[in-house]
């Protein structure tokens, strides 16, 4: 089995960071910090700027496919993001 040349691995943290790592080079490709949302609920919601709030989303789980990323966080919401994490497509409240 041959490893793909550009294999990326993702990891999430309780501090709201998502690490995008290059598996083959053993290096961090990109780090993103997800922040709480300004407005709720809307079809497409923008993320707050870092200067507006020191709060973060405590991310417990993450799942990616070729198009989207889904996160589960301590605030009780599942969120559907594009892979650039520029905004939230969908937000659903969950228990536990």
Beta strands in 4-76 (DSSP E): 8-12, 17-22, 27-33, 45-46, 59-64, 68-73
pLDDT at position 75 over 90 = no
Q: What's the pLDDT score for residue 69?
A: 95
Cα-to-chain-centroid distance, residue 37: 13
User: Per residue in 16-69, pLDDT tens?
Assistant: 999 999 988 899 999 999 877 655 444 444 444 343 445 778 899 999 999 999
pTM of the entire predicted model: 0.71
Q: How far, CA to CA in Å, does 77 sit from each of 46, 83, 93?
A: 16, 18, 4
What domains are defined for the chain? Answer: 8-93 (2.40.10)
Q: Report how far residue 94's alpha carbon sits from residue 91's, in angstroms, rounded to the nearest whole number.
A: 10
Q: Give the residue with greater pLDDT, 12 vs 55.
A: 12
């Amino acid at each position: 089995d041959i490893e793909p040349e550009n294999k990326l691995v993702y990891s999430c943290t309780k501090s709201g960071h998502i690490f995008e790592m290059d598996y083959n080079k053993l290096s961090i490709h990109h780090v993103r910090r997800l922040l709480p949302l300004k407005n709720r609920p809307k079809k497409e919601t923008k993320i707050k700027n870092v200067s507006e709030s020191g709060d973060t989303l405590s991310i417990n789980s993450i799942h990616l496919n070729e198009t989207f990323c889904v996160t589960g966080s301590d605030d009780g919401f599942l969120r559907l993001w594009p892979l650039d994490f520029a905004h939230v497509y969908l937000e659903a409240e969950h228990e536990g």
